[in-house]
Amino acid sequence: MNIARNGLIIFCSKVIIAVLLFLPQIILARKLGPDGLGVYNLFLTISGISLLLGNLGVGNASIYLMNKKKESPVQLFSNSLIFGVLWGIILSGLFYLIYLVFPSLVSGLSKGYVFLAILVIPIILLYNYLLPFLLAKFQIFKWSFFSILYAGLILLGVVILVEVFDFGTTGAIYAVVFSCVFSLCVVFIYLLKLFSLKLHFDKNLFGKEIRFGISSYLGDVFNGKKINFMLNLFIINIFLGMTDVGYYSVAFSITTILFFIPYSFQQILYSAWSLSSEEEIDKKTPEVGRQILILGFLSAIFFALIGKYFIILFYGKEFYPSIVPFFLILPGFIFITFASVFFNNFFAKGKPYIASCILICAITINIFLNLLLIPMIGIKGAAISVSISYFIVAVLAILFFAKTAKIPFKKIIKIQWSDFKPLFNEFERLFKGPGRLLTEIPDLNLKKLKDYYEKKAINGPNVIEQTFKSSKFYKRIFYSNRVDKVMEMLDIEPQDKILELACGEGYYTRQIAAVTLNLIATDISQHYLDKSKSYNPYKIIDYACCPVEELPFADNSFDKILMSEVIEHLLDWRSGIKEIKRVLKPGGKLIITTPNKYSYLNLLCHLRARIRNRPFDEEHIKEFSRKELEKSLEKYFNIEKFSYTNYFPVFLPKFLLKIIKFQRTKKIIQKIEGFFEKIPVVREAGLIIIIRVVKPKLK
């Protein structure tokens, strides 16, 4: 079992799920405003809180009993199936009675919405009983796939029913219902292949499940996060109304992104630690906890810097009241990320009752503070209540761990330099090791590199058709934005003599030649040059077959040089830069584009490669961050300007292309990217770095 690999899979899937669930909120906020978003989230809260209160820890119990106690998976599956159906029906009935007695809890929701939420309860409960069996069997890919499917169906349904057919809140609610039903069916059918269906209820085994489950389900720290949120929504709805429910749901939902890292660790560590001895678990817990605290703190700082802009950009100025509660919730999330590791420890050691006691205390305090503060200071009171209750959770979790593990309190919370080292080492490890080219050709040289690209030019795919002219909508926008930025940075004057390095199939060659024919294009492959000639209808000065490291031109020959997506492929980038400086005129300009080493898209590519145990990236030999690139170039040139592009791909179903026009969407994306570039921290997330440097003039 590879814990790191599984952790990465779960982390990536949680990022995808969060994005998929985030987008419907954006659509509804823009389309329906705070009231509509409040109705949608309160609807989700009904089935959500019923799930939490009716969960009973059956999923955790299944994982624990399968791995630790070696109980029959088939019988556990059968028990979960039978009990899930019956208990779900009972919960639906109980919530209906509560609704009849306390209708003010969901005031603002129509009876139809309430009934739909009640009908969903058994479906979502059974789904959450069955899904943990995949984690218990360590089928991490399948668990991730089904989790992503659920979120993806909600997004698809909201796009179709709300954005296209304008069904409003009703369409969004139907999307959730359909996603629940379909996802349950798919998971159930898949589990039937793993476990034979045996509709027999084992009372003795169920007793073990309930004894473990009841003591654990309230102690699940992430359920704690959800239950505080849901209780707050009910109380806010009673005192303030549906509009404030919408504001608060935005503030809280954005902050939950901080849970990516600890949730990923929790999901996989609980499964892994359930196989370890108590001594091993206790030894690992403090160090992992401090590392999670560091990551949570850094994430909170990042979100504090961008939170205001994030809310205004994606939700609109109408949601300005969400900003202050967002900041007030952030400290609580730092505490809860830290506490999550200790809850893991209690679960894995079979002592979940400790977590239950802590969480019951925290929930009680949260409710009390909500009733006290919300009438006085509105949704800011709800945010303060959450942070205080999460702080109490963290303190109590550490105290109980210190007592049970017999480790001094100070030793648990004192952050050491050694805690940072594993984080940096793991992060840097993503970018170390040979790429595919160096793996396949360990003694790579310029001749072999030329042979490789000659073969690729003959047998490889049509790069232009895959990128700039792709049939996929998002790729055309992705690469078109890049071209616009590059041509803007190149800023061609009529008298400029231009050199394009490694032109490939010639897309930029054609773009430049449309402005000026005073151009020479090079490539290491003659076959690529031939393709470039056939693609470019304009007659330029010349095409030269040569590597960047050996340019056949006289000194001081060119006014401007373009090297787009090339430097990362060079066998010896230093020699290449020296050659470029030699042939560039004093005062001449070099424009370089290259993938940003630390962009989130590049990070995801590296994570995917690591998960699949493959070389980190196709043909890249050396990748750069902006600072690394600037430091490398400033020895030879003066840095004049840098920019970024490609912050996110625009994935759209084909049928939407009939409604959304390419140029209109492109302009919207360019405006968003322009906004991102104005935020110092956020701008560093762009996939492509574009930098312009100038060769110093002779003195």
Q: pLDDT tens-digit profile of 392-410?
A: 989 999 999 998 888 888 8
CA-to-CA distance for 471 and 473, rounded, in angstroms?
Answer: 6
Q: Which residues of 123-143 are buried (b: 16+ CB within 10 A; e: fewer)?
A: bbbbbbbbbbbbbbbbebebb
Residues 70, 144 contacting (CB under 8 angstroms): no
For residue 520, list its beta bridge partners.
499, 542
Instruction: Supply the pLDDT for residue 221.
Output: 43
Q: In this structure, how many other beta carbons lie within 10 angstroms of the beta carbon of residue 544? A: 16
Pairing state between β 638-645 and 688-694: antiparallel
Instruction: Supply the pLDDT for residue 144.
Output: 83
Q: What DSSP line would sit under 229-253, residue for residue?
A: HHHHHHHHHHHT-HHHHHHHHHHHH
Q: In this structure, how many other beta carbons lie within 10 angstroms of the beta carbon of residue 495? A: 8
CA 518 remoteness from chain centre = 45
Residue 343 CB partners (closer than 8 Å, separation 6+): 219, 220, 221, 266, 355, 397
Q: Distance of CA 445 to CAs 431, 440, 455, Å?
A: 22, 12, 16
Residue 70 CB partners (closer than 8 Å, separation 6+): none
As given in the structure block, the two tokens for residue 410 are 């100070």
Q: What DSSP line would sit under 656-698, residue for residue?
A: GGGTS-HHHHHHHHHHHHHHHTTSTTGGGG-SEEEEEEEPPPP
The DSSP letter of residue 563 is E
- For the sheet containing 688-694, what is the strand order? 542-545, 519-523, 498-500, 558-564, 584-595, 688-694, 638-645
Residues 135, 263 contacting (CB under 8 angstroms): no
Per residue, what are the HEC states of 579-623? HHHHHEEEEEEEEEEEEECCCHHHHHHHHHHHHCCCCCCCCCCCC
Residue 412 CB partners (closer than 8 Å, separation 6+): 286, 289, 290, 398, 401, 402
Phi and psi at 373, nearest 5°, equal: -90, -35
Which residue ranges of the chain lie beneath pLDDT 70? 1-11, 69, 138, 215-225, 257-276, 417-430, 432-434, 607-618, 649-662, 699
Residue 73 CB partners (closer than 8 Å, separation 6+): 66, 133, 136, 137, 194, 195
Element (H, E) at 543: strand 542-545
Instruction: Supply the pLDDT for residue 661.
Output: 67
Per residue, what are the HEC states of 181-226? HHHHHHHHHHHHHHCCCCCCCCHHHHHHHHHHHHHHHCCCHHHHHH
Residue 189 CB partners (closer than 8 Å, separation 6+): none
For residue 645, list its beta bridge partners.
688
As given in the structure block, the two tokens for residue 346 are 């209690």
As given in the structure block, the two tokens for residue 462 are 């049509």
Beta strands in 486-534 (DSSP E): 498-500, 519-523
Residue 64 CB partners (closer than 8 Å, separation 6+): 212, 274, 347, 350
Residues 419, 294 contacting (CB under 8 angstroms): yes
CA-to-CA distance for 16 and 295, rounded, in angstroms?
Answer: 19
| Nearest Cα to Cα of residue 303 among 683, 625, 682, 20 | 682
Pairing state between β 638-645 and 584-595: unpaired
Residue the block writes with tokens 């503070």 = 369
Radius of gyration of the chain (CA): 29
- 112 burial (CB, 10 Å; 0-12 / 13-18 / 19+) is exposed
Residue the block writes with tokens 């995801």 = 604
- Model confidence pLDDT, tens digit, residues 1-59: 445 456 556 667 777 887 888 889 889 998 899 999 999 999 998 888 877 777 777 87
- 184 burial (CB, 10 Å; 0-12 / 13-18 / 19+) is buried
Mean confidence (pLDDT) of the chain? 84
CA-to-CA distance for 164 and 166, rounded, in angstroms?
Answer: 6
Q: Which domains does the chain have, with CATH numbers?
A: 1-216 (no CATH), 218-414 (no CATH), 436-694 (3.40.50.150)
As given in the structure block, the two tokens for residue 583 are 């042939």
As given in the structure block, the two tokens for residue 198 are 């045996």
CA-to-CA distance for 686 and 676, rounded, in angstroms?
Answer: 9
- Model confidence pLDDT, tens digit, residues 20-34: 888 898 899 988 999
